């Protein structure tokens, strides 16, 4: 579906650059896989949540409080995403 003419026309109409590679190329998923690896290693591994709501709240806290505001990212020059955005404004 993401290789269809309709999708490409939609992307062009909205100035979007679709991220598509050739079949069998793993690079499209690299960012998501890196994030979920960090989430598992740094937060949820070996934790048992009593409820789904507690798990959701903990993952939200990891993303919004730690990952985006505090955690340093090597691909951003060793600063957090929030600090990186503030520096580029």
HSE, side-chain direction, 13 A CA sphere, residue 5: 0
Q: How many CB atoms lie within 10 A of CB 67?
A: 20
Residues 6+ apart with CB under 8 A from 73: 79, 80, 81, 84
Under a CB-based contact definition with an 8 Å cutoff, are residues 21 and 27 in contact?
yes
* pTM tops 0.85: no
Phi then psi dihedrals of residue 73, to 5 deg: -115, 125
Q: pLDDT tens, position by position, for the chain (89 residues)?
A: 556 888 888 989 999 877 666 666 666 677 788 889 999 999 999 899 999 999 999 999 999 998 888 888 887 888 888 888 888 77
């Amino acid at each position: 579906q993401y290789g269809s003419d309709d999708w490409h026309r939609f992307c062009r109409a909205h100035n979007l650059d679709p991220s598509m590679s050739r079949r069998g190329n793993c690079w499209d998923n690299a960012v998501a896989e890196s994030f979920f690896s960090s989430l598992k290693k740094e937060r949820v591994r070996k934790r048992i949540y009593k409820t789904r709501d507690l798990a959701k709240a903990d993952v939200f806290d990891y993303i919004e409080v730690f990952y985006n505001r505090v955690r340093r990212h090597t691909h951003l020059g060793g600063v957090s995403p929030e600090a990186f955005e503030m520096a580029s404004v």
